[in-house]
Each structure stands twice: as structure tokens, then as C-alpha cells.
Structure 1
Amino acid sequence: MTSGNNGASTPEDEDPFGYLYADGQANGAQPPSGGGYGYGYPNSVNRSRSVGQRQYGQQQAPAAPNGPYGQVPQQQGPSGYNQPAAHYAAPETFPGGAPTSQQPMPGYNTGGGRRSGGPNTKGLLIGAIAVVAAVVIGIAIAMAGGDDKKNDSGNEAAATPSTSQSSQPSPSGSGEASAKELPKTDAKALALGGTAALTSDVKGAKADGGIYVSGFNQVGSSVTWTVNGIPKSGKYSLYTGYSVPGKDATATLTVNGTASTTPVGMDNYAHAKEGDYEKGWTQTYNYIQLNKGTNTIKVSCEQGNQCDALIDQLWLVNGWVKS
């Protein structure tokens, strides 16, 4: 359709907005006048106004009761401004509608502090401390148990043969120092048996007055020491002072009536020449068990012993020690 071929209708009847275009204006289209009906919408109200002519707060003419598309009249609010109808209000304005304020996070109150229902950090801290304490106690118990095992192994090591003898005792050392704490006897205080007798012909004896026991080289000869004042039952070392004439000798040891399977080994540790008793003075030791109080110690020449030796002293040392 063109403006030059418009049929029987006028331009404004055919296109109510023809006055907006150049070709419509050329064909005589004019804008509608106020107060009439709108463009092609029967019963509509024309409220067109120039910019700035709208006055808020004034009563507006109501729309036709049967206006197009179910238009809803405006309500006059208390402040004079036009307000939408109640059923077009925002959902939050209705009872039970969506909340309009920000809800607090669970576990926190509106004042910024923690609520009583939040996580119990104090309880967690106490639990962590308890776990650490349990670990520390477990480590301490394990360490203590290890020390006990070490001590037990040491005791087992100490409980080896009840009687033992040195291969080469030293003339001096810890044995003599320890002997001062326990009884010591010279030959003249010993009970003699068999052919044993006291004499002082050979020099070098350490007993008081140089007295020693001779005649020991016969079966049945013996020296017996009754020891008083043993402080406690346990392990002791018996030392024997003797001299041999350049050759080894042996004797039998009996403690409290029980003979030991280990002899008193009186070897030629001094390296004396044969027959030289004066150069053959030395000492030896045996491990023994004694009872608290009084004990009897006997050194004797028995069948199978080589008893050619002189005896001058006997003494005790605490424990099983080596001189």
C-alpha cells in the first residue's frame, strides 16, 4: 500500500500514526485532538500531555469500567501519590510473605557474639590436651619398662656360678680395699687339722709376726675359719694368701659343710724357682655364698689335691670381684 493508492479510506482511518511519517503528512494525516478516543482503541481515554504538564497528587479521571485488557484503577494513597492496588503489592507486604531483612547465620546472635548453640571450642581444646597427656604418659611407661628389662638382664648376668677362681690374682687392688669392711684372719687364728702346724721359718709371710701354716701337704690336713658378723646373705669373694715352691698346688674348699667343686688353685703366680718358698708368696680367690651372721670356711688337703703350700691369711670381699 502507498500513499498514492489508499482506496476509500482516509489516511487517518487507515493508519492512526500516519501523521508521524513524511508520506502520511503529505497525504493529509493529522494527529488526533485531545479528549477523544485513542488510536483504534474504543472507550480508551487519551491522557497524552506535554512534558512537565503532569501534576502528581491530583485526582485522575477513572478509567472506563470496561476498559481494554482488564486495566485496574489506581488508588489514592494517604500521601497524595498514586499507589498500586492491594493485590499488586510486593509479596513481602502481605502477611506471611517473604522476609525483607537479612537472617542471621546459625550459631551467631544479632549482636555479633556467639550463641550458646554454636560449636564448643572449649570442649575440643580440653579433648586435644587429654590426648597429648595420654601419649606422654604412655611414652614414660614404655621407657620405665625398658630400664627394668635392662636391670633384670644385669641381675641374671650376675647370678652365674656360685664359686669361681682367678687365673692370676693381683697382690693389690680393689680386693684389699674391700677387705677392710669384712673380717680378715691370720694363720694363728685358724683352727688346724691333720699335720698342719704354725711356724715362721720362711720369710715373706704377711700375717702378724710372719706366722704361717706349714705341714699342709698331707691328706687330712686343714685350716678352718669361723667367720662372725656377716652383714647379709649373698655373694662374697674368699681370698687366700699362700706360698708355693716354684710349682702349682691345689686344695679343697668347704663352706658351711658343703664342698665346692672348684678347688682353691694355688698356682705359682710369683714365678718362684723350685724349692724357693720365700719368693713364692702370692694370693688367689674363690667365689662363695655366705649366710647372714656366722659361717664356717674350711680349706683342706683331700685325695687328688697337690697340697705342697704354706698358708698365712684368709679374708673376705663383698660380691664376686676380681682383684
Structure 2
Amino acid sequence: MTSGNNGASTPEDDDPFGYLYADGQANGAQPPSGGGYGYPNSVSRVRAVGERRNGQQSQRQTAQYGQPATVPQQQGAYGQPNANYAAPENFGAGGGPSTGRQPVQGGGGRGRGPNTKGLLIGAVAVVAAVVIGIAVAMANGDSGDDDNKASDQVSVSAPASESASPSESAADDENKAELPKADAKALNLGGSAALASDVQGAQAAGGVYVGNLNQVGNSVTWTVNGIPSDGTYTVFAHYSAAGEDQSMTLTVNGKTFGTKFNLGNFAHAKDGDFAKGWTKTYSWPTLTKGTNTISVSCQDGDKCNVLLDQLYLKAGQVKD
């Protein structure tokens, strides 16, 4: 095979200056005259300025004298490949550009949009800081208000010694003071009432009690000294009743108080068993300051079969 004729010349065999050499002249190379590079049947690569082929219809942009050339509008968003200027590997099987937009691979590159996630996190952090600051300020303000209120209350409150009224002070003194108590021996007996100590269980000194009260006209009277002030008191009687409930007349400072002085069998002792019938009862008469008289007597219609050994007082209306 000779070097003169190997069929149609290829681009690699083109030599625009082949006509200057002997072998080129031997092969028929001639100076260029608007055709190829000088070889017969050479590949023509002459192309007008502004013309580009991409497998589609040729586009040629020319500019008239004195006017700017028209620039084709770019296709696609920022960072996305342009269909008219895509790389060869992006062409389809038909040689034309791909009609779909190519996805951006990877996290970097110019095609990546703004970091909106970071901006959102920053905005949330700022809002949270502002909210926390407001909450702390409000909490400090409330505590300050509470402190001011507390100080105001302390400043306007009266001392304890001034706030207590005289009546309350007197009542406290009465409760602290021990009120009188009378055993059977200290009572004045009326009628045929008599002292005895045969039945066990009496709380008076020596186990002495007053008996034989079960007759009309018989009584016991207690003269009480040292009542601190006028008011309501509780008078207690310690006694024994057996079998049926009993009731007698209570007289305070010469006047009958209430209906009857209840002397019930609260111990539930059997009839005649006075040793197991010891109990107590009470009433709430009004006494005056100083000396008062309290009497328990057997009157018509009363039931007086009791043994009585003590009378005593407590301030106010109490039950024990």
C-alpha cells in the first residue's frame, strides 16, 4: 500500500501546508482555494462564525454592521446544564441534547441552593432566647411585687400586744387560771343529806361523798369565790347513779337554771350497784364576777337517788 491513495483522507492526514513539500506535491496537494486544506477530497472544516451544530438544526447568528449580535437566551436555572451546550455524554441516542433537566449529584457544587435549614435553625434559636429572656424578666418582676406586698403587710400590721382586745386577754387569763373545785366535805348540806364513804369509787378526798339525797328538800350548796369575770361557765358534777336515770334541780344565785340537772346512768350500772355507777355531768350557767352560789336540790318531781362527791368549774362552754 502506497502513501499516495488510501481512500478519502481523514482529519488526521490533513496538512494545510502539504503543497509546500515534495511528497505533498506528489500526492496532488495544492494551495487552498476555498476548499480543503490542500489535499483532494479532504475533510472540509470551514464553518461560518457563530454557527454551531448540536445534532439539531444549525443556528447561525450574524450581526449587521453597527448592531450587536443577538445572544441566545440561556435555558435552565442557575447551576443547571444548558441543553444547547451540554457535554457529548449528555446527548441522547439520537445525537440531540437531553430534554430533561439533569439532577445535581452530591451536596456541593454551584447547583446547590441556599442553606435554608441553617437559617431556620438560627431564627428559632433567636426566638427561643427572646422568649426565655421575657419569662425571666416577668418572674423577677412578680417576685419583686410579692416582696413589696409582704413588706407592706408587715409595715401596716399592728404589734401582737396591741391587736389583742381586753376581752380576749381576760378570757386567756381565765383559761390559764385554775377555777375552784369543791369536794363533798366543802359543800353545805341541806335537809337530811349526809356524808358517807361506804361506796368505793368517789374522787373526793378520803372517798367521802354526800348521800341520802333521795328526799324532797335535801340539797348540797356550793359557795364559789374568785370568779374572774362575768360570763358563761361549765359546772361539772361527779356522782354515781345506778339503774334508772336521775334528774335534780340546779339553782344558780337563787334562780333555777334550765329545766333539770341531768344525772343519767351513763355508766350503765345495775340497780343498786353504785360502786360501778360513778360518772359525770355538766351544765352551762352564767356566772358573775366574784362570789356565786350553786345548789343541787331534790324538788317535787325530781329523781334524786344519787351519790355526789364533787362540784367544779371550767370557763366557757365545754364538755370535758
Give the shorter-chain TM-score range. 0.3 to 0.5
TM-score, structure 2 normalization: 0.45
The normalised TM-score by structure 1 is 0.45
